[in-house]
Amino acid sequence: MTRTTTKTPLILIVDDEPTMLRYLRTLLEVEGFRVDTATNGAEAMQRLQQAPMPDLLLLDVLMPVMDGLQALEQVRSHHPGLKVVMLSCVSDTRKVVQAIRLGAQDYLTKPFQKADLDAVIEQCIGTKSDHPTQVQGDIEDLGDDVFFVAANPAMRKIRSQAKLVANVDIPVLMLGESGTGKEVVSRLIHKYSPRAHRTFLKVNCAAVPADLLESELFGYEPGAFTGATHSKPGKFELCNKGTILLDEIGEMPPQLQAKLLHVLQDQQFSRLGSRNVIKVDVRIIAATNIDIPKAIVEKKLREDLYYRLNGFTITLPPLRERREEIGILLRHFISQVAESYGRPSMAVSPRLLDACERYNWPGNLRELGNFVKRFLILADEEMAINELQAGGPLSSGAGAGTSEAGLKGLVRNVKDEAEIEAISRALEQTNWNRKKAAALLKISYKALLYKIRQYEIQRTTSV
């Protein structure tokens, strides 16, 4: 007997309203799904102890005996891999956030359109598993040459969380190593929020000198400081009704953190040099790679601000923990960079792909993007592979012999070491005053911050 390779998905609907159960069963069976039903959470938990296990659980929030959130908590304890979509006739922000935190894939508010139901089912149990080559379809264009890739369970979960929290107007805190894509996820949240047609702005709190950051965020009036000859709106005014990303929030001066806390609480502020109060409606997303408990203890981050920003937290894994995405990202970066540089695209050989997947990418997506730029400019695959096998651009050239690739790597390595030494010396001379160090090196403040991150230069403490 021939065994079919495609199993018809089974969906368990849990709702105490008989009319809703019949309606959903009809919709799903017409689409060819197998359907089971239960009338409350307790009955659903009993059903989940029996075979076969459903592929998706549609779970109502408000039910007698055991409500949907209680059932969801038990599902996550006993069946962590089961995908769950919550249903509710009330759009309760607290319940939505709680459901997301408990691991729900999505949340539908009744009455919903069939297209909405179809979309979440496709997202949760679509045909992707039957067509592995469709993994490329997990690239989502967010505009402005920004894209989101989800070819890894953790990133698919983050995508679901981002889309869910997008409709709940609370602050979001993005955590993760530098270069993991926190800005990309922030743009994803903005795209799926009711503010999508409004402005999205990013402010890098580390790239703007501390004495200018307040005027950058909140604007100023003539005479507010030397050189302020005219009034200027700040980012919060420009972003009214939109979304603002405060990147590297841990670098914001403590006194400015207090003003930001006031804006979060009251949605109002005054420009520098003005007594007039400006009211705004801005969704705040904050991002950082700092050790938050340590920063709070050291008074670098206000504890009350942290709790205000932490309406919902999304933590991005480093690229080394999502190696399934490296091949997709590599090809996508090559296509994107080749087009912007006006150069022919280059194929990814199995050797190069293997070297990329074995490398740990401490700089994450940013490092991968820079690697692709060097690869396209130099058009030397052997050199690119040697660079990765030698531990990345900072160590390439060591022991590379006298080959052309080794010589190029050696020259680049010597240049990098010279830059590291010069930057470290300038920072020590200025007691790590980065603004003064940038002036001493005759480079911009932003360029210095980039170099510090690129070379991972850290302040040494004497014993």
Q: CATH no. for residue 50? A: 3.40.50.2300
Residues of the chain above pLDDT 90, percent: 37
Q: Determine the pLDDT at residue 117.
A: 86
Q: Is residue 417 part of a domain?
A: no
Q: Both 95 and 227 in a single domain?
A: no
Q: Determine the pLDDT at residue 424.
A: 84
Q: Determine the pLDDT at residue 33.
A: 87
254 prior amide bond cis, ω within 30 = no
Q: Is residue 413 part of a domain?
A: no
The region of weakest confidence among 36-40, 191-195, 328-332, 404-408 is 404-408
Rounded Cα distance, 138 and 134, in Å? 8
The helix, strand and coil proportions of the chain, stated in percent and rounded to the nearest 5, come to 50, 15, 35
Q: Is residue 420 part of a domain?
A: no
Q: Both 285 and 160 in a single domain?
A: yes
Q: How many domains does the chain have?
A: 3
Angle at 181 between CA 353 and CA 149, to 5 degrees: 55
Q: Both 46 and 116 in a single domain?
A: yes
Q: Determine the pLDDT at residue 131.
A: 36
Q: Determine the pLDDT at residue 356.
A: 92
Average pLDDT, the chain: 83
> For residue 105, is pLDDT > 90?
no
Confidence band, pLDDT 50/70/90 cuts, at residue 413:
low
Q: Determine the pLDDT at residue 3.
A: 32
Q: Is residue 70 part of a domain?
A: yes
pLDDT tens digits for range 112-158: 777 788 888 888 887 434 433 333 436 777 877 788 888 788 888 89
Long-range Cβ contact pairs of 410-417 (< 8 A, separation 24 or more): 416/455
Using the 3D structure, point to which of 129, 163, 182 is the last residue of a domain.
129
Rounded Cα distance, 276 and 209, in Å? 25
The region of weakest confidence among 125-139, 281-295, 330-344, 349-363 is 125-139
Using the 3D structure, point to which of 129, 159, 180 is the last residue of a domain.
129
Q: Is residue 305 part of a domain?
A: yes
Domain extent for 303: 140-315
Radius of gyration of the chain (CA): 26
Q: Both 253 and 334 in a single domain?
A: no
> For residue 399, is pLDDT > 50?
no
Q: Determine the pLDDT at residue 415.
A: 59
Rounded Cα distance, 420 and 414, in Å? 10
Q: Where are the alpha helices (DSSP H) in 131-253?
A: 153-166, 182-191, 210-218, 235-238
Rounded Cα distance, 373 and 301, in Å? 36
> For residue 294, is pLDDT > 70?
yes
Q: Both 253 and 355 in a single domain?
A: no
Q: Determine the pLDDT at residue 261.
A: 93
C-beta separation of 68 from 84 below 8 A: no
Q: Is residue 423 part of a domain?
A: no
Q: Determine the pLDDT at residue 91.
A: 66
Q: Which of 363, 19, 378 is nearest to 37 (CA)?
A: 19
> For residue 23, is pLDDT > 50?
yes
Q: Both 303 and 159 in a single domain?
A: yes
Q: Determine the pLDDT at residue 434.
A: 87
Q: Both 63 and 120 in a single domain?
A: yes
Q: Determine the pLDDT at residue 393.
A: 62
pLDDT tens digits for range 161-209: 898 899 888 999 999 999 999 999 999 999 999 999 999 999 999 888 8
> For residue 52, is pLDDT > 70?
yes
> For residue 57, is pLDDT > 80?
yes
Q: Is residue 404 part of a domain?
A: no
Q: Both 112 and 185 in a single domain?
A: no
Q: Both 172 and 195 in a single domain?
A: yes
Q: Both 163 and 302 in a single domain?
A: yes
Q: Is residue 135 part of a domain?
A: no
Using the 3D structure, point to which of 362, 393, 424 is the last residue of a domain.
393
Q: Determine the pLDDT at residue 192.
A: 92
Higher pLDDT, 331 or 414: 331
Residues of the chain above pLDDT 70, percent: 89
Confidence band, pLDDT 50/70/90 cuts, at residue 238:
very high
> For residue 312, is pLDDT > 50?
yes
Higher pLDDT, 4 or 92: 92
Q: Both 254 and 150 in a single domain?
A: yes
Q: Both 279 and 358 in a single domain?
A: no
C-beta separation of 106 from 85 below 8 A: yes
Q: CATH no. for residue 340? A: 1.10.8.60
Rounded Cα distance, 419 and 412, in Å? 11
Amino acid at 413: N
pLDDT tens digits for range 241-270: 999 999 999 989 888 999 999 999 888 999
